[in-house]
């Protein structure tokens, strides 16, 4: 520990202001994630009850390329964007498996993680 280690100094006003932006962005992210899963859940239901096409690897590759491009344009680390995509996909797979299990038991369709 150094002698000038910060203790309970007040948070600078600019940081407080920026925290307000962070809080707003986090709320928007959660609402968007909720909406994304609402949509993929509907797709999962459609696939579970109907004639379901198999996963489309071409679509996955297109999505990776597209999100990488958007990340580069926006200033987000493309590697992080890809990690984020995989994080979302893992949750979509979990939802898909739950939906398919409700509809068909062990006769699961191939997962299309991009719905």
Which residues of the chain form contacts with a copy of itself (CB under 8 A)?
2, 5-12, 14-15, 18-19, 21-23, 25-40, 42-43, 46-47, 50-54, 56, 59, 63, 66-67, 70-71, 74-77, 80-81, 83-85, 87-88, 91, 107, 109-110, 114-115
Question: Does the CA dihedral 45-49-54-56 come out positive or negative?
Answer: negative
Shortest CB 101 distance to a copy of itself, Å: 16
d(CA 99, CA 96): 5
- Please say which residue, 23 or 97, places its beta carbon nearer to a copy of itself: 23
> Which residues make Cβ contacts (< 8 Å) with residue 93, sequence separation at least 6?
111, 113
């Amino acid at each position: 520990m150094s002698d000038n280690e910060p203790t309970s100094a007040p948070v600078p006003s600019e940081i407080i202001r920026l925290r307000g932006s962070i809080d707003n962005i986090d709320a928007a992210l959660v609402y968007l994630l909720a909406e994304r899963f609402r949509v993929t859940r509907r797709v999962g239901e459609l696939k579970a009850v109907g004639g379901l096409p198999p996963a489309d690897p071409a679509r996955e590759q297109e999505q990776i390329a597209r999100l990488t491009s958007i990340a580069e344009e926006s200033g987000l680390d493309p590697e992080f964007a890809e990690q984020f995509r995989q994080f979302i996909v893992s949750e979509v797979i979990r939802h898909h498996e739950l939906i398919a299990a409700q509809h068909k038991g062990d006769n699961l369709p191939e997962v299309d993680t991009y719905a």
